[in-house]
Amino acid sequence: MLRLFMYKFRKAAQTADMRRGWICAAMALFLGVAAVIGGTKVSARAEEVAIDCKAACLMDDASGVQMFGKSETARLPIASMCKIMTLLLAFEEADAGRLNYEEEITVSERAAGMGGSQVFLGAGLCYPVGQLLKSIVVCSANDSCVAIAERIAGSESAFCEKMNARAKQLGAENTLFANCTGLPKETQYSCAKDVALMLRELLRHEKYHEYARIWLEDFTHPDGRTTQMTNTNKLIRLYDGCDGGKTGFTNEAGFCLACSAKRGEMRVISVVIGSETSKTRFLAATTLLDYAFDNFESITYLSAGTPLETLLSVRGSRIKEVALAPKTTLSALKRRGTEEHYDVSVMTEPLRAPVAKGEIIGQAILTRDGVEIARTDLVSCDEAPAYTWWDAYREEANRWNIA
């Protein structure tokens, strides 16, 4: 039987206070909440946002709720915004220990010969992974993209297979990659909503933010040459709170931009595809960001990695209790001036050793006025090994006061 706890949160429109409490319903079955999932989109009124582009998407980073869309699922070329997925796979490889930022990559003739935006890598020269990734983030270097793709997958085409597989995992249903750079290719497309999903995942990587903050820096080559890198995302300097993004342009795609900005606890993702000029894409993106910060607030109820207030009992181990924490942040987006009520339900089963640190041991579910809007796995913060023979003897000895 499942154990159900209700972690209560009440939020009124005019106050930022949250009241918390645990209500335990012993040996209760959880019914009904998982049947309905809502709250993934908040529609803007047409007169509220006017932007000049083919497609756009505005998304809350924490909850994934869409605040505005304009042809957001239309399949379009996205130019260098493809590099968001290239970077995501590279940072995930580094997190998994399969790629090291200090590792040096020997650049192939093909990588060095890429056109478009580049840092003019020398064929046969060796460059650190971190330096190549930095050049992709800051100045959209096509040559560095191919060098990274060949290191990770052996070839760019094999890397594209990984890109498409990862896109499917993220729920990017209107995306197909044919290269890792975004250079024009007929079979390649994405949409504003999918780009927002990809950037949202990339923003989870702190190393990305370290590079994204750079405005101007020299790229030093092993042969003594230097190439000056300038950040293509002007909003890093011009928009308050902008902390990431990726530009793109081809004649086919027009001027594109995916960017993020954070103010207080709220981070917002803005994606614009197919503006007529560079100026109009930045104007469209900032219009969307301003709209989000003016009209919405993001409220976090459980933070990823932060232990809950209650411990969970464990049987069959000398460790009697373990802490549990949400795997991902549980948050909600609401319009300013509205009154909504939220509950967090925590579901667990009786635990028996062994329990590994990081093991999934339950779920937390966020509901708004009785309707589920989000959920996350709960993981163990501690390790609880099973009893050894000696552990069992000592516990029994202590129980009977045996010296």
pLDDT in tens, the chain (403 residues): 455 555 544 333 333 333 233 323 322 223 222 222 333 455 555 457 889 999 999 999 998 999 999 999 999 999 999 999 999 999 999 999 999 999 999 999 999 999 899 999 999 999 999 999 999 999 999 999 999 999 999 999 999 999 999 999 999 999 999 999 999 998 899 999 999 999 999 999 999 999 999 999 999 999 999 999 999 999 999 999 999 999 999 999 999 999 999 999 899 999 999 999 999 999 999 999 999 999 999 889 999 999 999 999 999 898 999 999 999 989 988 888 888 889 999 999 889 999 999 999 999 999 988 899 889 999 999 999 998 766 666 666 676 665 4
Task: Return the closest-CA partner of residue 204 out of 68, 95, 69, 46.
Answer: 95
Using CA atoms, how far apart are residues 257 and 304, in angstroms rounded to an integer?
A: 28
Instruction: Indicate if 83 belongs to the active site.
Output: yes
Catalytic one of 108, 135, 140, 345: 140
The first and second tokens of residue 12, run together, are 């009124």
Q: Is the CB of residue 355 less than 8 Å from the CB of residue 387?
A: no
Task: Return the closest-CA partner of residue 106 out of 150, 136, 69.
Answer: 150
Which domains does the chain possess? Answer: 3-31+303-389 (2.60.410.10), 50-56+71-297 (3.40.710.10)
The first and second tokens of residue 363, run together, are 């779920």
Catalytic one of 80, 117, 275, 317: 80
Amino acid in position 348: T
Catalytic one of 11, 63, 70, 83: 83
Measured at the alpha carbon of residue 332, what is the angle toward residues 209 and 375, in degrees to the nearest 5?
Answer: 90
Instruction: Indicate if 140 belongs to the active site.
Output: yes
Instruction: Indicate if 317 belongs to the active site.
Output: no
Amino acid in position 40: T
